[in-house]
Structure 1
Amino acid sequence: MKHFFKLMSFRKILSIIFVGTWLLFNLSCASNSDEKILFFAHSLPTSHPVHKGIVAMQESLNEKSGGKLQIKIFPDGQLGSERETIELLQIGSIAMTKVSASALSNFAPEYKITVIPYLFRDSDHLFKNLEGEVGEQLLASGTEYLLRGVCFYDAGARSFYTKDAPVNSPDDLDGLKLRVQNDQMSVDMANTLGASATPMAFGELYTALQQNVVDGAENNIPSFVSSNHFEVCKYYIFDEHTMVPDVVIIGTKFWDSLSEEEKVWLEEAADESVAKQKQYWKETVDENMKMLKEKGIEFIYPDKAPFVEKSRPVMERLLEDPQLRPIIEKINAN
């Protein structure tokens, strides 16, 4: 097995102790019960539309199973960052998590394609692929790493936002230190476009922006708002360089422990939550855009053609990978 059992942080050790203690307590209380509880940890606040999608899954699963199979949610980074929750899942301390597809590219290489700039033409093109053969292949690709994909959630388009300088073309990115997610594909994307990529945990970003450690970042509108980064950054640039979905994953240890009936309950609950989450996403973006305009955030809609052209080497490099080329070509042809 690859990419885990590394030196654990003190925070992660505390998370494992906490989860283990809670689990032992609840198992002792439910020793005469047929109930199963799946611990689901993620890093987003409860106001986020992705969290609302997870709650929809939780409610649907409880109804379908008659309470026999339940989800207990630990939101807001209570049990660690995205990478930490993935590693907790791999060692069996939690059952499920939600992470950006880019975070999974550190574990399952096929997910690299989700961070290729301008690979997906729009939201319809994205979900046409994610809800077809391409999506099935990606969700299955992490099983070697004990990570089984369950479904994809809408995470919109990611765009740059900056503190002091508007960005109207890739040339305006030169010299800007921009936070990106902690994966090589995100670093390559930002560097290729001309910025100085600075990977760091999302929870550290607000302070980094305040203290001028970075000049800006890139993310979707709901995350820009829920993180309060709009308090520091006054320019949001709709270059929409990537459309990186969120992925709900379950540890293969927990998946394999479920009966066939329980697996059907979980898959049906996940599918139902996807439709609801897309609606929550749209409603949240509309509300956020209105609020940001009232707060005086300047929206910039640059010509995307120069961004597309300058970022092209990222796709060209991945097309040289015999494992990824067929997936990219299938998406381009779809």
Structure 2
Amino acid sequence: MKLSKVILTGAVGVVSLSMAACGGGSSSGEASGGGGEQTVFKLAFNQTEEHPQYHAGEELGKRLEEATDGRYSIKVYPNEQLGGQSDVIQNLANGTVELMWVGGPVLESYNEDFVVYNLPYVFDSYESQMAILQDEELNDDLFHSIEDKGITVLAGVHAGIRNIYNSKRPVTTPDDMAGLKIRVQQSDSQVKMIELMGGVASPMNLGEVYSALQTGVLDGAENNEPTYDAIKHDEVAKYYSYTKHLMIPDYLLVSTKALEGMDEADREAFLALIPEIQELASSEFLDYAEESKQHAEELGAQFNDAGAAAFKEKLTPMVEEYMSANEARQTIYAAIKEANQANPA
């Protein structure tokens, strides 16, 4: 990711965020190790305190405080306390929120090329995905492509394998998707994917989904086992079907304004922590997924294998279309294929 490549411009980097009149980090009012005010970055998150990304965010705060002698720390706000992802990312861009975890499809509205990691059946394994996300040179241009919009991508992390769940019936073939209203993240590629799978796509913020399932506005959604269980969708949509259609990364984002507002030493200390946090958030997810499945089963959820091959056949033309759009996507797609060969399922 070559995050050290972030460049201070003009006098921006001279001003401490804790002295900013608006936008930047919130001061805790406590003395830092250097005797000044501590700047506390807000990290927005749309899921629960049990999630590995919540734990990783808290750990990042502890390590940042230590690395900067108390000048900076992080407070994580879970459960959409700061708003839905599509709203929070706007606040990130203008600097009123400093950090957030975000689902990959949300970034497509800022640069359509982020779709390369959001397409169905792209990654064959966890190891394949991590090999790509940790490739700094491959991701350099993409991850820095939206800094002009006020957003810097710090890292992509494994966020599970997404499957279909609903309140009506098990899904075993594309025919079983007919008429099902399925929640997706807010991106054109996700809408198209569900339509090709045979369902009716309904873009919606995650926090609105439970009541929509409960009232029948939605029939189902698509997500991984931890989200399905943690936000209690297993209470209102008992059929979880392993279509295994997506392995979309989540991203840790930072406000470019906030990053540039740190002095050089603190900024470099912060960026040096990111690979450790990337690994922590990703590796913890594997055990969390299995634990979530077991808990959902105890609540009466029914898990079944689905015809992944049949769904993949329907979605392959979509993948090829998106990946061939430009040279940048073709380069990344070629790297993904190599990673899949080296790390098969």
TM-score by length of 2: 0.85
Q: The residue matched to 1:35 in structure 2 has which SS?
A: strand
Residue 158 of structure 2 corresponds to 154
Aligned pairs for 1:1-334 within 5 A: 26=27, 33=36, 35-132=38-135, 133-322=137-326, 323-334=328-339
Match of residue 10 from structure 1: none
**Contact 1:157/1:242 (8 A) holds in 2:** yes
Name the structure 2 match of 1:15. none
Separation in 2 of the partners of 1:210 and 1:186? 23
Percent sequence identity is 28
292-301 or 134-143, which deviates more: 134-143
| 1:251-295 deviation per Cα after TM superposition (whole angstroms, max 9, x unaligned) | 111111222321222122222222222343123222212212222
Give me the whole-angstrom Cα distance separating, in 1, the residues matched to 2:229 and 2:141: 33
Moved more, 161-170 or 287-296: 287-296
Residue 116 of structure 2 aligns to a residue whose secondary structure is: helix
Partners of 2:100 and 2:252 within 8 A in 1? yes
* Contact in 2 for aligned 1:110/1:141 (Cα 8 Å): no
Distance 1:170 1:130 in 2: 30
**1:81-129 superposed Cα distances (whole Å, 9 cap, x missing partner):** 1111110011111111110111111112221112211011111111111
* Contact 2:133 2:157 survives alignment (8 Å): no
Pairwise CA distance, 1:246: 0.9
Contact 2:165 2:239 in 1 (8 A): yes
Amino acid at match of 2:197: L
* Compared CA separation, residues 61 and 176, structure 1 to 2 (3 A): same
What is the CA–CA distance in structure 2 between the aligned matches of 1:154 and 1:319, rounded to whole Å?
21
Contact 1:158–1:242 (8 Å) recurs in 2 = yes
CA contact (8 A) 2:101 2:251 kept: yes
Query: Residues 111 and 138 of structure 1 are in contact (CA less than 8 Å); yes or no, is this contact kept in structure 2?
Result: yes
- Provide structure 1 residue ranges, at least 5 long, that are not aligned to the other structure: 1-19
Q: Distance in 2 between matches of 1:282 and 1:24?
A: 33
Gaps of 5+ in 2: 1-20, 340-345
Which stretch has the larger CA shift, 253-262 or 156-165?
Answer: 253-262
Q: Distance in 1 between matches of 2:240 and 2:309?
A: 18
Change (3 A) 1:27 1:228: closer
Provide Cα deviations, 1:44-102, integer angstroms capped at 9, x if missing partner: 22121211111111111112222122112222211111111110011111111110111
User: Please, what is the CA RMSD of the aligned residues?
Assistant: 2.3
Native 8 Å contact 2:181 2:199 kept in 1: yes
CA deviations on 1:156-177 (whole Å, 9 max, x unpaired) are: 1111001111100112112111
Aligned-partner Cα distance in 1 for 2:235–2:43: 30
Secondary structure of the residue aligned to 2:101 is strand
| Cα distance in structure 1, aligned partners of 2:302 and 2:124 | 25
Asked whether the equivalents of residues 151 and 249 of structure 1 are also in contact (C-alpha less than 8 Å), the reply is yes
Cα distance, 1:203 vs structure 2: 0.8
Once the two structures are superposed, residues 218-275 of structure 1 have per-residue CA deviations (whole angstroms, 9 ceiling, x without a partner) of 0011110111000011111111111111101111111112223212221222222222
Cα gap change, 1:24 to 1:316, in 2 (>3 Å):
closer
The letter for the 1-side match of 2:330 is R
Cα distance between partner residues in 2 of 1:79 and 1:34: 24
Amino acid at match of 1:122: S
Amino acid aligned to 1:77: E
Shift of 1:22: 10
Distance in 1 (CA, whole Å) between partners of 2:25 and 2:155 is 29
CA distance in 1 between counterparts of 2:63 and 2:214 reads 41
Give the Å deviation of 1:315: 1.0
> In 1, distance between residues paired with 2:201 and 2:300?
27
Amino acid paired to 1:184 = D
